[in-house]
Amino acid sequence: MYLAKIKVTLRKSILDPQGKAVEHSILSLGYKNVEDTRIGKYIELKINTTSEAEARKVVEEISGKLIANPVMEDYEYELSLLTASSNGSPEKITAGKTH
């Protein structure tokens, strides 16, 4: 089984009004060194397969067809193999990025 952690953000060329509103609030709190605030989405999926290639294919298809709007958004993901490790954490095996 694989764990996919997907991050979706607006393309840099797209205005992010929500990010600007948050940045304005941050600045009003006195944090003057914050700039270029962007808001995005974070999604986790568990994919029941033993094949890394199949897991990657599923993540890319779901992200490209459903999770991200390819006209306005970019996505990147991290893929981890879920194993019974000594500390219970997933073993990170690979990362991918797609625009």
Q: What is the pLDDT of residues 32-61, one digit of tens each?
A: 999 999 999 999 999 999 999 999 999 999
Domain extent, residue 64, equals 2-14+40-98
Higher per-residue pLDDT: 48 or 86: 48
Task: Supply φ then ψ for residue 34, to 5 degrees.
Answer: -95, 135
Instruction: Assess if residue 76 is contained within a domain.
Output: yes
If one counts every other C-beta atom within 10 angstroms of the C-beta of residue 9, the result is 19
What local confidence, expressed as pLDDT, does residue 86 receive? 42
Whole-number Cα distances in Å, 4 to 25, 46, 55, 65:
32, 6, 8, 16
Beta-strand (E) ranges in 31-89?
40-47, 73-81
Q: Are 99 and 74 in contact (CB under 8 A)?
A: yes
Query: Does any domain span residue 30?
Result: no
Does 47 fall in a domain? yes
- Predicted confidence at residue 97, as pLDDT, reads 60
Instruction: Give CA–CA dist 87/85, Å, rounded.
Output: 6
Q: Report d(CA 61, CA 8) in Å as an integer.
A: 14
Using the predicted structure, report yes or no on whether residue 88 has a pLDDT greater than 80.
no
Give the pLDDT of residue 40: 97
Considering the domain boundaries, does residue 23 fall inside one?
Answer: no
Domain for residue 27, yes or no? no
Let me know if residue 22 belongs to a domain.
no
Which domain CATH number covers 84? Answer: 3.30.1280.10
Question: Number of structural domains, the chain?
Answer: 1
